[in-house]
Amino acid sequence: MSKSRVLIAVCAVALSTLAVAHNKEDGAAEYRMGLMSVIGWNFGPLGAMVKGKQPFDAAEFSKRADRIANFSDQLLEGFPKGSDNAEHTASKADIWTNWEDFQGKARDFEREAKALAAVAKNNDEAKDKEQFKKVAETCKSCHEKYKKKD
């Protein structure tokens, strides 16, 4: 085989392996974990500011609250039927048997996250903290019921 033919053969093998690893269900699981990571990444500093572990910075608070709000309405897209068997997932199968309830929790989060982004524009530290706690409750309420413990 010529060098280029070997290369093509190697690429074809690599591509087919990728296709196997990225079937729809695994892709969805990666998507939701990615979303959660982005949300968690931005939620961390907000929590640190609320607890006084990091100086309160209204602009920083608002920027991160906006990011979370922008991702909040995509959550359900990461949980299509059949994605409970994806590898390395921490999602409980109960999500799909209690779909209505799970959807409700996703919407609670979306509503409170969007409210936080709106409140954060007013530069009122006390109100920011109050609304932050409401968002945190929606994360907790969903994780307690639908996320496997690590």
- C-alpha 92/C-alpha 143 separation (Å) is 10
Rounded to a whole number of angstroms, the minimum distance from the CB of residue 138 to ligand HEC is 5
Other Cβ atoms within 10 Å of 7 Cβ, number: 11
* Number of chain positions touching ligand HEC (CB under 6 A): 23
- C-alpha 150/C-alpha 132 separation (Å) is 24
Instruction: Compute the C-alpha angle 91/94/100, nearest 5°.
Output: 110
Q: Which range of residues in 14-22, 48-56, 102-110, 120-128 is near ligand HEC by CB under 6 A?
A: 102-110
* Residue entry with tokens 């968002």: 135
Taking CB under 6 A as the criterion, the residue among 61, 109, 120, 128 binding ligand HEC is 109
The site for ligand HEC (CB under 6 A) is made up of: 29, 32-33, 36-37, 39-40, 43, 75, 89-91, 102, 105-106, 109, 135, 138-139, 142-143, 146-147
